[in-house]
A and B are shown apart, each in its own frame.
Chain A
Amino acid sequence: MESLRVINLGVEAGGRRILENVNLYIKEGQTFVLFGPNGSGKSSLLSAIVGHPNYRVVQGRITLRGEDITNLSTDERVRRGIGIAFQNPPKVSGVKLIDLLRKCANVAGLSEEEAEKRIDSCAKFVGMEDMLDRAVNDGFSGGEIKKSELLQLMVLDPEFVMLDEPDSGVDLENIAIVGRAIKKLLERDKKEEDRRKSGLVITHTGHILDYVDADYGVVLFNGRISCIGDPYKILEHITKYGYEACIRKCVEERR
């Protein structure tokens, strides 16, 4: 069954075209990894999918389980099952992490009692139980920000999970925790036929693939998808020969 589809998407931001003819077809249970050099449009694609007001869809559409969500507001998309962990989320002074988590649980349709239970177990899972009374992202370290993002998603429990560089700036001690949390979010700890969650993960370095497996790799270059294939082969190629060579190879293979 299909989860997220991006159909011939064109996106503008700041008066500039930043995505062109992007197509993705992600089925239930599938995890895609999104590669691409800086400025290729990876974060822009995630922003457009979650409905950031600065990213204007000028062409094409986005559907979730067949429903067109292109014109929905961000909160409506989230209520339909889209979740995102940001690379650099803003600090929100005065709003405590625990209060935001309770809101996430509420959006996920949990009762108060269920909410406390889930928040408690998820916070322990990522080792954030001592940080719940802090203002969101206020004075958090790089690793704490990533864990807090994943914690919010674990409580929200979305069907379609987007992660923007969940491994960047995370130290060795925390990378295993981050990996475990992502595995759980994307149900990679379950048998293939039992997976319902699907997702799109941005990784610049590819390190996250050491902890979480993926079904497909996508290379974004200059706002266009230039390559889709085995994520491990793509990563190997990028690591050895760089993005340009990888893209040349993809184009040649397509001919």
Chain B
Amino acid sequence: MEDPKKSQFESDSEILNVAERARSVGVEFDSSKRSASFLQVDQEARAYRWLEGIEVMSIKEAIEKYDWVKDYMWKIVSRDKDEYTKIAAEDFNGYFIRALPDCKIDIPVEACLYLKRVKAQKVYNLVVAEEGSELNIISGCTSHPSSVGMHIGVSEFFVKKGAKLTFTMIHNWQPDIEVRPRSGAVVEEDGILVSNYVLLSPVKYIESYPVAYLRKNAKAVFTSLVIAHDNSVIELGNKAILGEKSSADIISRAICKGGRVVSKGYIRGEGRGCKGHLECRGLMLSEKGSILAVPELEAMNPEVDLSHEAAVGRIAEEEIFYLMARGLTRDEATSAIIRGFLDVEIKGLPEFLKREIDKAIEMASEDLM
């Protein structure tokens, strides 16, 4: 077991440079603020460490270490799902993060995937929150300045009986990066999944429509905050398949700053007594670009409660005027409203994660003005 106090990144100057760059976009490696860290540059998973109750290693190592890891892989996201999962299945690396049964660790695990010089970074991640455990993961994916390429990330999440997983992904790409995450989750009985996705910087193309299967009494909250800058195309959403008495909330906030956003949501009520709500709000800040909201609900029996609300528009002049009547300049008023738009109250989100997201919003709001 390595000394958790000493960062392994310090032993390697290239990794150190990458870690610096990652820090500048908000990735945190400080051992007092994280329970474990994982950093992958292109295909090389170079550094990691672990503390009691949590296992963090590269998926390659996990496959060697545990026979049962293979039984989890490709069970929710099929290898043959599309051309991208096929590419990823051929050759991949990624993280394996596991919380042992009943271990409740609120200090998050940091998992950073860094795209540096390869044409395509291929990632397979596996997260297992064992029965009764609590696990927090912050995943910061980012790329080297002026890098060009594609990030294909397959992630599978297993939230066992009564476990809680909070997964927060903060993407920070470059304008020439194409990103195709393919994710799936199974939340078992009484389990909770809180999933947050934040993308506030320019990107070429993102396409992601992960699916979550909720078993009896399971709960899930999906929140996404995205800004589509000039030339960015973002196709994003969440699917939830609801079992008996389970519930899901899918909340999205999209800002168009010249790019295109397709904000999707799909909830299927399969089990009796399940509940699902979709909330999609879009803010147009530009004459260019577009926001398309596509909320879909499907009931498979009469005893389901499914609803959605979608609203897309510009900032109301009345609100700007109102804040100006309290002495805010037009710019200050606009910025306060944009920040307010992105400030979603995420249920069950730990305070430090809220601070991380606030920090990202703070950085982005300044750029928007």
Contacts and interface: CB of A to CB of B under 8 A. Distances in A.
A74 B324 CA distance: 6
B326 A90 contact: no
Interface residues of B, number: 22
A188 B326 CA distance: 23
A73 B324 contact: yes
A170 interface: no
Interface in B292-349: 316-319, 321-330, 332, 336-337, 339-343
Query: B interface, by DSSP: helix, strand, loop or mixed?
Result: helix
Given A94-B339, A99-B336, A52 B321 contact: yes
Interface string A166-209: 00000000000000000000000000000000000000000000
Contacts of B323: 92, 95, 100, 103
Residue of B322, B330, B332, B339 with most partner-chain A CB within 10 A: B322
Nearest to A77: B325
A100 B332 CA distance: 11
B283 to A, nearest CB: 11
B329 A86 contact: no
A152 interface: yes
Contacts of B330: 73, 75
A135 interface: yes
A135 B321 contact: no
Interface in A80-96: 84, 86, 89-90, 92-95
Contacts, number: 67
Contacts of A84: 325
B340 A156 contact: no
B327 A107 contact: yes
Interface in B266-282: none
Given A53-B317, A99-B336, A135-B340, A92 B322 contact: yes
A238 interface: no
A248 interface: no
Nearest to A152: B326
Interface residues of A, number: 25
B337 A53 contact: no
Given A99-B336, A103-B326, A107-B327, A74 B341 contact: no
B326 A94 contact: no
Contacts of B332: 103
B327 A103 contact: yes
A92 B328 CA distance: 14
Given A93-B340, A94-B343, A78 B322 contact: no
A79 interface: yes
A181 to B, nearest CB: 17
B317 to A, nearest CB: 7
B325 A92 contact: no
Contacts of B324: 73-75, 78
A225 interface: no
A103 B333 CA distance: 11
Contacts of A123: none
B309 to A, nearest CB: 13
A92 B321 contact: no
A50 interface: yes
Contact of A78 (B326, B339, B342): B326
A104 interface: yes
Contacts of A86: 322, 325
A104 B327 contact: yes
B340 A78 contact: no
A79 B319 contact: no
B323 to A, nearest CB: 7
Interface in A28-62: 50, 52-53
B107 to A, nearest CB: 26
A73 B330 CA distance: 9
A152 B324 CA distance: 13
Contacts of A78: 324-327
A156 B326 contact: yes
A92 B318 CA distance: 9
A90 B341 contact: no
Given A53-B321, A74-B321, A93 B341 contact: yes
A147 to B, nearest CB: 16
Given A53-B317, A90-B319, 12 more contacts: A50-B325, A73-B324, A75-B327, A75-B330, A78-B325, A92-B319, A92-B322, A94-B341, A94-B343, A95-B337, A100-B323, A107-B327
7 nearest interchain CB pairs?
A: A94-B340, A107-B327, A74-B324, A95-B340, A78-B327, A94-B343, A75-B324
8 contacts: A73-B324, A74-B325, A75-B324, A78-B325, A78-B326, A79-B327, A86-B322, A100-B326
Interface of B: 316-319, 321-330, 332, 336-337, 339-343
